[in-house]
Amino acid sequence: MTMKRGWIAAAVAAAGLSGIGTLAFAESTTLKTVQDRGTLLCSGHNGSYFGFVEVNDKNEWKGLDIDLCRALTVAILGDPDKNQIVPLSWAQRFPALQSGDVDVVIKATGWTMGRDTELGLQFSIPYFFGGAQLMVRKELGISTASELGGGTVCVAAGTTIERIVADHLKAENVEHTMVSFEKTAEVIGAYKAGRCDAYAAWGPSIAVLLANQFEDADSHVILADKLSAEPIAAAMRQGDEDWVDIVNWMLAALIKAEELGVTSSNVDEMVANPPNPTVARLLGVDAGMGERLGLRDTWAREMIAAMGNFAEIYDRNLGEGSPYKLERGLNNLWSNGGVLYTPILD
């Protein structure tokens, strides 16, 4: 999402080497590399990114993306701590993936065509949906973006948001002025100071800011229309399908566990007494889960015992158990009004 495409393009294209980087890794499978190394290399951040990648008071990483990395680590190596989180800037994440500095990028990364094709990446199934949204003062009495005519929109420079908002408002024929700033803090400052009528950003980020950085949170409103729906997924190097399978089924198992009601606290009972054949297969009571991926049969069981299912991970980092209290919304199971679903576990 908030990345400067230019840098990556420059770094990778100027070297003209993304292809070579990919080829070098097509030979040895990532899974084998990780198992031999005994450590999974994941992407961190150069700072904190609300709820997804943060550092706690004990100088340790935490967040939704970090927990997914830890879950993947359990699935492969059986221990959530056998990973190394490499701090990466937004611009650096894909070159770092190509050069083998990390095995997988789980870093609030949107699935785009350019990344999928030109940058030589493969994406997992999406695990989060977020889109550009607008926040305005309640006193304006606006309820949709199309009523913003003649208004000023503040936005962070160089992000996909800037273009999305411009495209959307243009399509709706809304006359507007766009003011962009380098830093999020500056955008917020300008909005607070009344320099703009609306603040445009990634929906979850606005909610986080509104809850924590506005004394008068009640007098602002986040407009419901989502100007874009950005599927957030894990990114991997092209050419290692087995590795993509593992990451996909790691995510699928977490979501499936939520669907089936398996949690970190009841996983042992479920193993002792599986309520249905799907649970039995998921938790490795019936054989088959592991062999197909080259992992242990009990990988999902251990993963859920250590990290919880998707709902637990979400609540801990973004939901009720976090300072953000972000509603699940779109990021709920399909059966609860969201868009999260899994392939069939047969």
Partner 1 sequence: MNAAPPAIGAFERLQRRAFRTPLDGLVTLVFVALLAGLAWQAIDWGVLRAVWRAEDVALCREAASGACWSIIDARHRLILFGLYPFDEHWRSTSAAVAIIATVVLSCIPWFWTTRRLVSLWIAGFATYYLLMDGSLLGMAQVTTDKWGGLSLVLFLFSTVVLIGMPTGLGLALMRRSRLPVLRLVASLLIDFIRSLPLLTTLFTAAVVVPILLPDWLQGDKIWRIIIAFSLFFACYQAEVFRGGFQAIPSGQFEAGMALGLGKWQALGLIILPQVFRHALPATINMVVVTFKETAVVIIIGLFDLLASAQAAFGTGDWVAYYMETYIFVALIYWAFITSLGRYGEFVKDRMKQDEH
Summarize as ranges the residues that interact with partner 1 (CB under 8 A): 7, 11, 14-15, 17, 20-21, 44-51, 54-61, 84, 86-89, 91-92, 95-96, 98-101, 185, 208-209, 211-213, 215, 322-324
Whichever of 213 and 276 has its CB closer to partner 1, that residue is 213
Work out how close the CB of 7 gets to partner 1 at its nearest, in angstroms, rounded to a whole number: 7
Whichever of 130 and 284 has its CB closer to partner 1, that residue is 130
Nearest CA among 322, 129, 214, 45 for reference residue 199 = 214
How far out from the chain centre does Cα 337 lie?
Answer: 20
Q: How far apart are CA 324 and CA 338, in angstroms?
A: 19
Work out how close the CB of 329 gets to partner 1 at its nearest, in angstroms, rounded to a whole number: 18
Work out how close the CB of 195 gets to partner 1 at its nearest, in angstroms, rounded to a whole number: 18
Whichever of 126 and 204 has its CB closer to partner 1, that residue is 204
On whether the CB atoms of residues 133 and 222 are closer than 8 A, the answer is yes
Work out how close the CB of 64 gets to partner 1 at its nearest, in angstroms, rounded to a whole number: 12
Work out how close the CB of 89 gets to partner 1 at its nearest, in angstroms, rounded to a whole number: 5
Work out how close the CB of 280 gets to partner 1 at its nearest, in angstroms, rounded to a whole number: 39
Whichever of 98 and 124 has its CB closer to partner 1, that residue is 98
Q: Which residues contact 230 (CB under 8 A, 6 or more apart)?
A: 1, 110, 111, 129, 130, 131, 132, 160, 202
Nearest CA among 229, 230, 227, 231 for reference residue 166 = 227
CA 300 to each of CA 58, 97, 190, 341: distance values in angstroms, whole numbers, following the listed order: 28, 25, 47, 17
Whichever of 88 and 307 has its CB closer to partner 1, that residue is 88
Strands 176-181 vs 151-156: parallel, antiparallel or unpaired = parallel
On whether the CB atoms of residues 211 and 144 are closer than 8 A, the answer is no
Nearest CA among 159, 162, 193, 160 for reference residue 179 = 162
Whichever of 60 and 167 has its CB closer to partner 1, that residue is 60
